[in-house]
Amino acid sequence: MIGFKVGDVQQKTKVLVTGGAGFIGSNLVEYFLKKNFQVVCLDNLSTGKYSNIEPFLNLENFTWIQGDIRDFSVCVSAVAGCDYVLHQAALGSVPRSINDPILTNSVNISGFLNMLVASRDAGVKRFVYAASSSTYGDSSALPKIEDTIGAPLSPYAVTKLVNELYADVFSKLYGMSVVGLRYFNVFGRRQDPAGAYAAVIPKFVMSFLNQNEIVINGNGEHSRDFTYIENVLLANDLALQAEDENVKGQVFNVACGAQTSLNEMLSIMRGLFAVRQMDFQPKGVVYGPERIGDIAHSWASIEKGKELLNYYPTHDFKSGLEEAIDWYIQHYRGA
């Protein structure tokens, strides 16, 4: 079960979660429902799943709206009466953006601007949005520090950078309290293992469970700061409720502050399956060409988050992976 340790419960506090039927969004919906917030969930179900929010439909403090953030009137309706907005709605995936930059732009930029304007006009107390580590682009500096970014390497990265620029302008021009959270390779329960743009961890786990071949783009030495979903929930709660005025208009890395290569991840995964006395092993490992738009290494500094948000991750990579594997075993074993 999800644990809740941050902030005081306020029965009348109302929060809108856009993209609330998605992987991260539905976890945020559940998190704040359990804290007795009034939660409004907006999603067009293009990548989100109705099954993710179905358990909440009969709860008195939950409101479901199926709609698209590219429709400004939908944004206005969804944010009405809300104290806070947690904006998660976006089209993720670097490869998807390379294949369809126009669609990615319309959702991630036009939709984002719609939500900013609607939130400004509604007078929300704070607008917290999902930024991305892709904003660091071709910068080779490690660890990644919020104030040092490079040139974007994909249309997706461009859209997330533009989000940050708009957020900064709205903060300065209109006095909005806007906070960006740069997510680093988030994984955990409800992350879909299927589809062309599935993330690497659920794909690998399913390859173990189904004894399929594992395909790694590159030589496996690419590294990431893999971040378990519980750390993301914590960061959103801290960003939403932070009283420090210095938080306004800022962007923060949300990560563990550690590197793990794909080869290391595969080795850790083998060990975790072995501990569970499961003989499942992938058929084999195939190393293929690197993906266009990928960076070699990603590792976040989380010092700014510690200082201004009191963000200290509750899960390191291995402990998060243990929980994620158990969830996939429970929900997908034999699938």
Tokens of 207: 């390859």
pLDDT over threshold 80, residue 108: yes
Range of the domain at 305: 14-187+227-256+295-315
User: 227 near 157, Cβ under 8 Å?
Assistant: no
The total of structural domains in the chain comes to 1
80 vs 64: CA distance, rounded Å: 14
335 vs 332: CA distance, rounded Å: 5
pLDDT tens-digit series, residues 241-291:
999 889 999 999 999 999 999 999 999 999 999 888 777 777 788 898 888
Is 333 exposed, middle or buried, given 0-12, 13-18 or 19+ CB atoms closer than 10 A?
A: exposed
| Residue of 156, 183, 228, 311 marked active site | 156
The verdict on residue 325 lying in a domain is: no
The verdict on residue 119 lying in a domain is: yes
The verdict on residue 202 lying in a domain is: no
Count helices and strands in the chain by DSSP H and E runs:
12, 13
The verdict on residue 55 lying in a domain is: yes
pLDDT over threshold 70, residue 215: yes
Give the confidence band of 334 by pLDDT, cuts at 50, 70, 90: low
The verdict on residue 74 lying in a domain is: yes
228 catalytic residue (yes or no): no
The verdict on residue 170 lying in a domain is: yes
Residue 153: how many CB atoms within 10 A of its CB?
18
Radius of gyration of the chain (CA): 19
In this prediction, residue 312 carries a pLDDT of: 98
The verdict on residue 92 lying in a domain is: yes
In this prediction, residue 86 carries a pLDDT of: 98
In 19-132, where do the E strands start and end? 38-43, 62-66, 84-87, 126-132
CATH number of the domain bearing residue 28: 3.40.50.720
pLDDT tens-digit series, residues 36-62:
999 999 999 999 999 999 999 999 999
User: 229 near 189, Cβ under 8 Å?
Assistant: yes
In this prediction, residue 278 carries a pLDDT of: 72
Phi, psi angles (nearest 5°) of residue 42:
-115, 130
The verdict on residue 195 lying in a domain is: no
User: 275 near 198, Cβ under 8 Å?
Assistant: no
Please tell me the least confidently modeled range out of 154-163, 290-299, 322-331.
290-299
In this prediction, residue 9 carries a pLDDT of: 42
45 vs 22: CA distance, rounded Å: 8
Dihedral sign for Cα atoms in the order 179, 182, 188, 191: positive
Task: Name the pTM for this structure.
Answer: 0.93
